[in-house]
Amino acid sequence: MTMKSNYAIWSERHRPNTLDECVLEALSPSQEAFVRALQKGSRLPNLLFYGSPGTGKTTVARILCASKRYCVHQFNGSLIGKSDVAEELQKYALSGAMLFSEQRVMLIDEIDGITEQGQMALRALMEDPRVTTAWVLTCNLRKKLIEPLRSRLIEIDFNCPTLEHRQRHFKGILRRCGQVLAAEGINDIPDDQLRDMIELDYPDLRKIITSLQMKFGYRHAA
Ligand SMILES: Nc1ncnc2c1ncn2[C@@H]1O[C@H](COP(=O)(O)OP(=O)(O)O)[C@@H](O)[C@H]1O
Ligand SMILES: [Mg+2]
């Protein structure tokens, strides 16, 4: 694991840089295979990652975009939601010719923070033949997105639909918590204790990792 020691907050310090470090069990097996294949490919399609907070949407989106093959522009929908989205995005989507080997990617987090009007503008931009950009979007609430926008995106669900699915996901989170603690030099926390802590904030892995830091981080600081 790459140590980003300049981050004091564990959930940031241990944000995965690779898909193998990610808990991907919330995805269906076919969606997981699809995401892994995307990482090996040379182009990205238009994607929407949706699901509850702290489940890895931004992390996976960044990993997929972190390739020299892409020229990535990053936005936060909750911030641009208040300004003139179309103008702002158009500026980047249409700006300058790309090197032939690069694909322009617009990574917009929290797209559900954009107004319906803004989403309509985004949809129009997606259909503009001059725009060859790939759009990678994340949101918590899929139902806040207008249907014409959703129908232009490949949707990846970060929520677990069944109890069996959640159990598999829970195990993945337990594994990840063990890795985070081990990276902090902590190897003596019994699984039962970890399970109880995970249950409190499941499925929000950001919160779970923060509560690990609250409980065990004093050893790190000492
Ligand atoms: N699936 C995951 N695998 C590994 N770590 C995760 C995962 N989901 C969340 N985390 C942890 O929580 C933090 C926030 O995750 P993030 O991807 O930003 O969540 P969101 O789904 O809200 O976009 C990450 O930096 C990482 O430490
Ligand atoms: Mg996010």
Predicted confidence (pLDDT) at residue 206 exceeds the cutoff of 90: yes
134 lines ligand 1 (CB under 6 A): no
113 lines ligand 1 (CB under 6 A): no
State pTM to two decimals: 0.93
Same domain? 37 vs 116: yes
- Residue that wins the pLDDT comparison between 161 and 194: 194
The per-residue pLDDT for range 120-163, each reduced to its tens digit, is 989 998 988 888 889 999 999 999 999 999 999 999 999 999 99
User: Where among 157, 179, 203 does a domain terminate?
Assistant: 157
Residue 8 within a domain: no
Query: Which residue, by CA, sits nearest to atom 17 of ligand 1?
Result: 56
Residue 178 within a domain: yes
206 lines ligand 1 (CB under 6 A): yes
Give residue 78's pLDDT.
Answer: 83
Greatest extent of the chain over all pairs of C-alpha atoms, in Å: 58
Q: Output the CA 188–ligand 2 centroid distance in Å.
A: 31
Residue 109 within a domain: yes
What dihedral do alpha carbons 209, 211, 215, 220 form, nearest 10°?
A: 40
Same domain? 61 vs 147: yes
User: Where among 157, 172, 197 does a domain terminate?
Assistant: 157
Q: Are the C-beta atoms of 89 and 125 separated by less than 8 Å?
A: yes
Distances 99 to 35, 38, 63, 216 between C-alpha atoms, Å: 25, 21, 21, 48
The per-residue pLDDT for range 79-133, each reduced to its tens digit, is 876 666 777 788 887 776 565 668 899 999 999 989 898 899 899 989 888 888 8
